[in-house]
Chain A
Amino acid sequence: MNTTANEGVKTTPMSMIQALRSAMDVMLERDPNVVIFGQDVGYFGGVFRCTEGLQKKYGKSRVFDAPISEGGIVGAAVGMGAYGLRPVPEIQFADYFYPASDQIVSEAARLRYRSAGEFTAPITIRMPCGGGIYGGQTHSQSPEALFTQVCGLRTVMPSNPYDAKGLLIAAIENDDPVIFLEPKRLYNGPFDGHHENPVVPWSQHALGEVPEGYYTVPLESASIFRSGSQLTVLAYGTMVFVAEAAARETGIDAEIIDLRSLWPLDLDSIVASVRKTRRCVVVHEATRTCGFGAELLSLVQEHCFYHLEAPIERVTGWDTPYPHAQEWLYFPGPARVGAAFLRAMEA
């Protein structure tokens, strides 16, 4: 256990899994209306162990297993929210959310609107996303654009344990439905795309130092992950570390913005950075066409066009299903991101 001298807050090294568990522990303790349920989350503690020990600590009526039915899990959560609870359901993999689409898009997202505020769905749907774990096409997807397109939803994706805990607490306390995407390749350590290297644990990274108790990282606020002067990188989740590696390897002084909240997002931070550096590279792991990057490009074009020195670059996964054997040909690693940096600088 360490104490951060400048803040005087007790911190502990935590993996992202431990940080997420700590957030749920804090909220179960603080708010008797918080309940957690999903496939394997109860006695076992989840396939990624995020809810380990919580059922034992808070009882079976607060943390419990659910049938294999994503539509049922989210539908029941909407009903619980209408009653007055603050459910935090888990979808075991983001790749499995599709059966819950109707409940997310037509119900949770619009309940406040259609009932003029009589009923709300203050639910936080956690789901591990992204690749890099040889998960194949059903354990690797990044479906964030399917959520950012839906009015009424908040979509959040942390890139490190500190943000993961603070954002999850903020999401649970928020009265809107929140889609909370957890890049599973970051669960146990930062990952810069160099898959040939051994995993570096979070205990060796500054952002793995996590306060023990309650704190929040506000929604709709991006963070400047690395400040720089030559170009702006808009990234989130795993790609934040990939972009950092690309900056290191190309020697380009990139300013990396970790969006954290994808929608609604912190447009001011994006605009300020791009107007400063005058170049912009958008990076995400998800497929390209109609991906969230397309919206980011559009916003930068609308707000920064007369400040730009080069066309906006976009590095993404290919428009194919996420492959198994060809994972590292698909994954937008530091070489591809670095090449985009060079193109942006040379233009």
Chain B
Amino acid sequence: MKPHPPLRLHVPEPSARPGHETNFAYLHLAPAGAARCPPLDVKPAQTSDLAFNLVRVLDDEGQAVGPWAPKLDPAVLRKGLRAMLKTRVFDARMLIAQRQKKLSFYMQSVGEEAIGSAHALALAAGDMCFPTYRQQSLLMAREVPLVGLICQLMSNSHDPLKGRQLPVMYSMRDAGFFSISGNLATQFIQAVGWAMASAIKGDTKIASAWIGDGATAEADFHTALTFAHVYRAPVILNVVNNQWAISTFQAIAGGEGTTFAARGIGCGIPSLRVDGNDFLAVHAASTWAAERARSNHGPTLIEWVTYRAGPHSTSDDPSKYRPADDWAHFPLGDPIARLKQHLIREKHWSEKEHVVLQAELEAEVAAAQKEAESYGTLLDGHIPSAASMFEDVYKDMPAHLRGQLAELEARS
């Protein structure tokens, strides 16, 4: 018998590193309108093709095509465009503020604005999102006041989280936005637990869980899929595949030769792979999954295919590990430009209105920043009190913490 060759360890690589051009063929894109739309009570295995295909509505000309094309009021589309643009304007402004050291850290969501914006508009009031740190578009679509967000980012005296959290780790219960943890994936199973609670109580609210491609490798992701399936939890399981986890290409998380949506099929969960830069496709798939959850059909897993256009955070430099102009070649384009193109084509929007909106949003963000800065920034030391550091560790402050607070105050 011929001897076997020596074994080799396979370590996946992206198709290109800096100085070369990415071959995006690995995404296996489908044309807009090609994917079918199954009934709400579809069996998990009957979505196998959709977990490898790609649900798209907007074609290259900005036309809405195919069975997923939603019949949306143009006012909703304009609202979505506004939320996306506001997210981008806000991110740009906060990035500058970070460079001016007014905040210690920031994380943009450039290129991913359609996902949270359209998803939030497909959910109902009272539904709870369990986000990661790149879903600020959920908040923009729900029109939360910007001043509170900026105070959190600046860790100032009006920070609603009292200076305890890294910038961007918001918590906004009233906006259906769960407290963000820096520990990846933990919120995924928590969302399932929240959804189980809603079902236990006979409520009508659903949960929406968020995770990135990289963190799907964590145990909590797989656990969440198991629990969601076992208890038929009313939850949408969102995987934002933006191709990069800091410097780690999605193939290292297990995306090579398969899809993240495919994870759901084996767990018994109907699963979709969707163009995350297509506002209409995101809205349609989110509405479908929400309706399934609310009708006791249980969970849906959705992989949103997108691209992290910016660095992971203000502490990251992606030019060290991927081609600098990658986003310009990303075949699913810019979500804002695509919805704008569609709206103009349908005569629901114009270039002129777009310019006016952009100026209006820039003024709104600037005014909010001005007000937030009047309450202090990390630079000027107007931070929450020492006493607040000891509060909320427990509901009532125990004796040992009262003692430690007294110790701190006696020394300072």
Contact = CB atoms under 8 A, between A and B. Distances in A.
Contacts of B35: none
Contact of A115 (B128, B161, B400): B161
A114 B398 CA distance: 18
Given A85-B200, A116-B164, A264 B398 contact: yes
Q: Which of A35, A107, A220 has the most CB of B within 10 A?
A: A107
Contact of B194 (A35, A61, A79, A152): A79
Interface stretch (B220-228, B255-263, B334-342): B220-228
Given A82-B194, A107-B186, A116-B160, A75 B398 contact: no
A114 B230 CA distance: 30
A35 B162 contact: no
A174 B396 CA distance: 10
A78 B191 CA distance: 9
B197 A119 contact: no
Contacts of A134: none
Contacts of B165: 114
Interface stretch (A98-106, A181-189, A278-286): A98-106
A61 B223 contact: no
A207 to B, nearest CB: 27
A61 B231 CA distance: 10
Contacts of A151: 393
Contacts of A83: 128, 193-194, 197-198, 201
B392 interface: yes
Contacts of B190: 75-76, 78-79, 82, 107
Contacts of B130: 79
A151 B389 CA distance: 12
B227 A72 contact: yes
B4 interface: no
Given A76-B189, A106-B181, A62 B392 contact: no
A62 B200 contact: yes
Given A114-B171, A267-B399, A71 B198 contact: no
B347 interface: no
Contact of B227 (A67, A84, A102, A174): A67
A112 B393 CA distance: 7
A48 interface: no
A8 interface: no
26 contacts: A35-B200, A67-B223, A71-B219, A72-B189, A72-B220, A75-B186, A75-B190, A76-B193, A79-B194, A83-B197, A103-B189, A106-B186, A107-B181, A107-B190, A112-B392, A114-B161, A114-B179, A116-B161, A117-B392, A118-B171, A118-B179, A119-B171, A175-B395, A176-B394, A220-B398, A264-B394
